[in-house]
Chains A and B, each alone.
Chain A
Amino acid sequence: MTDAEGRKQHIQNLLQKAERLHQNLDGSFSDRLVSSIYKEATAIARSSVIESGNRRAGWDVYFDRIATHPVTGFPLMFLILAAIFWITIEGANYPSQLIARGLFWFEGWAAGLFFQLGAPPWLTGFLWHGVWRGLAWVVSVMLPPMAIFFPLFTILEDFGYLPRVAFNMDALFRRVGAHGKQALTMAMGFGCNAAGVISTRIIDSPRERLIAIITNNFVPCNGRWPTLIMMATIFIAAPFPAGVGSLVAAASLMAVTLFGVFMTLVVSFGLSKTLLKGTPSVFTLELPPYRKPRILQTLYTSLIDRTIFVLWRAIIMAAPAGAVIWILGNTHIGGLPLSNHIANALDPLGRLIGLDGVVLLAYIIAIPANEIVIPTIIMAYSQASMMIELDSLEALRHLLVDQHGWTIVTAISLMLFSLLHNPCSTTILTIWKETRSAKWTAVATFLPLTIAFIVNFLFVQIVLFFM
């Protein structure tokens, strides 16, 4: 017998012996082992920890009492979220206009310079009125809100409030057959749905994890916030005086978010009763002590890592989108630009859900990144109606309302569609990587899209019925 064979034999013997002993020890092995380890841990801890005074500090006990109180628990949660929205809207308004003015001024100046230098008009159009304009919109619309929203949210996270949210929300998730930690993954989805999908790894049960993955899309990510914020500010808050306006805008964002939570619960319920039937898994959630947030570090990291990162992603997506729009708008077939042909073809479908062909075209172009939906719509519209100066929300309102007939119904339809439609391609790819399943990736992509069409269609029908 060779060495290798001997070794193999030896291994076989070992495994057989282990199997026999395993059976003799019956089911109590794990219990005995864990108890032994903890017994030892307790003994060591006793000998090296000198404890005095109360175990929990003072104020955090009281804060927890408010945060989990039957009367104040949920209102506090809404209040905090609404406050974040309000600060974001109120704070972002002025810087957004300032940045827009600067960047669009530069567009005019650069285009003028190109003209003087005798550059061909198509080059000026492509570069400045196409690519640059797309970038300018993305930067001015996205940068200020994100630079406010992310740090605020990160401070909340650093403080330790999110587990309390999951703690309170679990009752809802339990009723729909999902896991309370899904609330934590949703909180991550506020930043980015791809990150939200990855964070579902904290849920052990594959069934509950899949539910969390599929429904994460119903939390609006940073790519969709700008769309929602803009619609809220220029349509819903517009009739109100300035001070009240931002409160109304914040309230409408809150309503959209709550509707997203509602859809999450409905879809989770539907899934756990059909495709993903099963029993609830173990629920354990650690509630860590509150910690003083590190304000400066939070500002720094959320600005560099999240804001700049997301903005950069938007920029590299917006530039090609701007170029595509410009090409579509300047390639003429039968006297009409190609973009018009496509938009016209999509128009009937768009009208059914309260939107139009251009918006649907924008959503197709924006599959890689939702950030560019609004810029794409603007570029497509403004091309059709000659180049107008779009240096303020007022000018944008003029373009959408007066020239393309948008109403508050269009705005709400766009908000609903933005909230519910399919995830962006990055998120879809992440879902594929996490599930390794074509079936679940397809469900996670097309289920939201279908729901978006249905909800939007119903919304339009209800509006038509009453008006």
Chain B
Amino acid sequence: MAGCQCAQATTCSSHGNLIRLGVNIRDFDYLIALAGNPNTGKTTLFNALSGLRQHTGNWPGKTVVRSEGAFRHNGYKYKVVDLPGTYSLLSTSEDEEIARDFILFGNPDCVVVVVDATALERNLNLVLQVLEITDRVVVALNLMDEAERKGMFVDARKLAKELGVPVVPMVAREGKGTDHLLQTVQDLVTGNLRTQPRRIELDPHIEEAVQQLLPHLKNLYPNLSNHRWLAMRLLEGDPSIRRAILTDSLAQTESPLAPQKEEDMSELEAALEV
């Protein structure tokens, strides 16, 4: 597990090998998704990596469309997708569905969860959910400077240990920590680094039900790693997961890029009876 080589984000401010490629995203080697709560600096990080200038603003929900860009680092070419900010992946909002579907069906080689160091508790709510879906996760512990100003110190090394995935402290606005993040991502996607994501300790009632479904899911989808999460979704009665299982589209190993969700207002209209 990669701990943090530099406890202070301030010491990792160079981006030696980063070449920003903007929207030139053909023939990439690895696909990275940026997830995180709203207003944690995902788009700032996205811009820093791709060299694009998606509009940022200090209010939650600024990124409402999925934007894509590319960059080259240490000879590898990456495609990076900035997902809409969400507090959770459990609700039924459109944003959360876009983010969740991409993490689940988009087959990203790595999900970078951008986390607000000043509100760790709430951000971990999302991180823990992402860890149930995929084990290829790097946590970008952003806004370290703001945390410091508020008199908080977040121990990235400890956090990494707790979560079982690498945690990189950053100040994305100033480009601090970018290089360390990219190195960590590279280690993860090339298989030099193995993660052991923490699983949520479930309420006993739920755990029991999950255990009953697990053998079926493992049998049907031997290649997937998120059986527990699938079981939880089924138990909640998530219609899109039911549909995916019914049509057997989960089993595809080729990346069936989830189509960008177009909201169908006529459907919504029907619901409104207008």
Contact = CB atoms under 8 A, between A and B. Distances in A.
Q: Do chains A and B touch in the complex (CB under 8 A)?
A: yes
A163 B150 contact: no
B126 to A, nearest CB: 9
Contacts of A11: 220, 245-246, 248
Given A25-B209, A160-B59, A57 B150 contact: yes
B204 to A, nearest CB: 9
Size band of the B side of the interface?
35 or more
B150 A206 contact: no
A347 interface: no
Nearest to A11: B245
B235 A41 contact: no
A10 B215 CA distance: 11
A163 B235 contact: no
B265 A10 contact: no
Interface centre among A54, A57, A202, A278 (most CB of B within 10 A): A202
A22 B233 CA distance: 10
Interface stretch (A44-52, A395-403, A454-462): A44-52
Contact of B206 (A10, A29, A45, A277): A29
B38 A286 contact: yes
Interface in A350-371: none
A303 B127 CA distance: 36
B153 to A, nearest CB: 5
A24 B237 CA distance: 12
B268 to A, nearest CB: 4
A126 interface: no
A55 B150 contact: yes
Main secondary structure of the interface of B (DSSP, over half): helix
Interface string A288-318: 1111001000000100110000000000000
Nearest to B266: A437
Given A15-B234, A47-B162, A276-B272, A201 B58 contact: no
Contact of A440 (B129, B159, B265): B265
Nearest to B231: A18
Contact of B159 (A40, A44, A159, A276): A44
B220 A286 contact: no
B21 to A, nearest CB: 18
A184 B39 CA distance: 14
B20 to A, nearest CB: 15
B236 A22 contact: yes
Interface stretch (B28-36, B88-96, B182-190): B88-96
Nearest to A284: B87
Given A14-B213, A15-B242, A25 B262 contact: no
Contact of A45 (B56, B121, B217): B121
Contacts of B55: 301, 305
A435 interface: yes
B125 A437 contact: no
B207 to A, nearest CB: 9
B125 A17 contact: no
B269 interface: yes
Contact of A181 (B61, B153, B159, B173): B61
A289 B146 contact: yes
Contacts of A7: 220, 248
A72 interface: no
A33 B203 contact: yes
Given A157-B57, A276-B272, A30 B236 contact: yes
Contacts of A66: none
Main secondary structure of the interface of A (DSSP, over half): helix
Contacts of B268: 206
B200 interface: yes
Contact of B95 (A29, A201, A294): A201
Given A17-B216, A33-B203, A286-B38, A49 B153 contact: yes
Given A18-B213, A48-B159, A289 B118 contact: yes
A25 B210 CA distance: 11
Interface centre among A158, A275, A289, A435 (most CB of B within 10 A): A289
Given A33-B90, A33-B203, A437-B265, A160 B124 contact: no
Contacts of B156: 48
Nearest to A24: B209
A162 interface: yes
Contacts of A53: 150-151
A34 interface: yes
A30 B236 CA distance: 7
B252 interface: no
A64 interface: no
A111 interface: no
B125 A15 contact: no
Given A206-B272, A286-B38, A21 B235 contact: yes
B129 A37 contact: yes
Contact of B58 (A21, A44, A291, A436): A291
Contacts of A331: none
Contacts of B56: 158
A210 interface: yes
Contacts of B90: 30, 33-34
Given A41-B122, A45-B124, A304-B53, A15 B246 contact: yes
A199 B236 CA distance: 30
B212 interface: yes
Given A21-B213, A22-B235, A160 B58 contact: yes
Interface in B94-111: 94-95
Interface in B255-273: 262-266, 268-269, 271-272
Contact of A204 (B59, B94, B220): B94
12 contacts: A18-B213, A18-B234, A29-B235, A34-B90, A37-B128, A45-B124, A201-B65, A201-B94, A202-B61, A206-B271, A437-B265, A437-B269
Given A7-B248, A30-B90, 20 more contacts: A24-B209, A37-B200, A40-B200, A44-B162, A44-B163, A45-B121, A48-B156, A154-B57, A158-B56, A159-B58, A163-B59, A166-B59, A184-B61, A202-B64, A206-B271, A210-B265, A277-B274, A285-B60, A305-B55, A433-B262
